[in-house]
Amino acid sequence: MYDIGICNGSVYTGCSFVNTNVYIKDGKIAALSTASEDCKKLVDAHNKLVLPGFIDPHVHFHLTVGKNTSFNDFHTGSIAGVLGGVTTYIDFLDVIYNTAQMKAAFEDRCALAKTSITDYAFHTTIANPTDCADKMIKAGLDYGINSVKLFTTYSDTNRRTFERYIYDLLRYSRTYNTRIVCHSEHDDLIWKNKKIPLADHENSRPSICERTAVMTLAEIAREANGLLYIVHVSAGRTVDALKTVYSEELHNKQIILESCPHYFMFTSDVYKSADGWKYTMTPPLRPEIDRARLNANIDYISTIGTDHCPFTPDLKKHEYTCDIPMGIGGITYSFLNMYALFGKDIVAKFTTGPAKAYNLWPRKGNLLPGADADIVIFDEHKNTIAQDPDGIYDKKKYNGAFDSVYAHGIELVHNGSLTQAANEVTGEYVPRC
């Protein structure tokens, strides 16, 4: 006898939708079958989508930058995520400059993440390292981390990693099956003056900063045969340039592109509005030409992350960007935003895309036997109204609603609200190597 049977739904298996039943046993997907099997509990998913739990590959819970700390800790952030179907997320260790700092960076974040109600993993984060590239990669592997995040900018705070070192990282990335994850902006093209008015946020670090940095990284990855991942692609013209020269690398996933819902939805015009401070993140929102081209290039985007990092209004509501902590929320509405734009075609970018990019497959990102029973039941025929009073999506109306969300076979969300079980569970750290 199975624990749960989710029956009569349109099931996304990881490559296509099929009309079948999903059977769960001991927190795992036990079988897919059109047959009616004995179950302790039956769930009727007629006329609903049955999807793998979503994976957000890019969040910042309890992130402290200077004197400011992001609004969501791992507990409240994971709750915000699961209400939007996210059952696994990847956060970031604090920045390290050498391998001796790795143990403390990992243990500190794990201690904070113990309050998470859903599963999580981490990226190693480096800044202008003093140890050699292969040692930095192997330091993460010792803790189950096979991704290394770096910045091509922020030289003024010693966070920039330079091109020669990136080349070495990419050369070793194949050997150690490790993704080199890049925040990509051309440091020398960014305004260095501190007092930048909010209205000039995009002008101060325009899309050419991203495009030139990404093209340089792509050429290094090609030369090194390395595994490159570009986070939060903000400009459609960046994708235009990449696909013209590096289409093969994009096709075979040597180069993987991530973007965020806000870059598909808003433009830099908002920075001229009275509440423009709400929309401040790095990289900034782009002009309409880049938003439109990004939407047109959705097929070249493999994963959708949120870069979820909200700060309270009292911290963000300032005149100059130097006084504003960069980051917005949105993990609860990420899928709803992208589903509104692209329909069911977007599902892979929340499931199989991040699972395969970050070595979570086949445990995550699919509903095949043996996978974790992380499941989203999504009703396309209901509506959702966003409750996001301090964010950028408040009162937005969506077609579609989350009927249920399961993690390890436990229902954490029912009819869009947390269940009692959500107060009684804790997530697991998921090693990826």
- Give 193-235 pLDDT, tens digit per residue: 889 999 999 999 999 999 999 999 999 999 999 999 999 999 9
User: Angle between the 163-173 and 133-141 helix axes, to the nearest 10 degrees?
Assistant: 50
CA dihedral 331, 337, 342, 344 (to 10 degrees): 60
263 pLDDT higher than 90? yes
66 pLDDT higher than 90? no
Query: pLDDT value at position 58?
Result: 98
Model confidence band, residue 15 (pLDDT cutoffs 50, 70, 90): confident
Distance (Å, whole) CA 405 – CA 417 = 10
Distance (Å, whole) CA 109 – CA 93 = 6
Query: pLDDT value at position 184?
Result: 98
Give SS3 for 314. Answer: helix
Query: pLDDT value at position 194?
Result: 83
Query: pLDDT value at position 272?
Result: 97
Query: pLDDT value at position 44?
Result: 98
Query: pLDDT value at position 185?
Result: 98
Q: Which residue has the tokens 């819902």?
A: 261
Q: Report CA-CA distances (Å) from 337 to 142, 175, 210, 347, 393.
A: 37, 38, 24, 12, 9
pTM of the model: 0.98
- Give 247-259 pLDDT, tens digit per residue: 999 999 999 999 9
Query: pLDDT value at position 14?
Result: 85
Query: pLDDT value at position 431?
Result: 98
Model confidence band, residue 346 (pLDDT cutoffs 50, 70, 90): very high
376 pLDDT higher than 90? yes
- Give 278-320 pLDDT, tens digit per residue: 999 999 999 999 999 999 999 999 999 999 999 999 999 999 9
Query: pLDDT value at position 270?
Result: 98
Query: pLDDT value at position 193?
Result: 83
- Give 76-130 pLDDT, tens digit per residue: 999 999 999 999 999 999 999 999 999 999 999 999 999 999 999 999 999 999 9
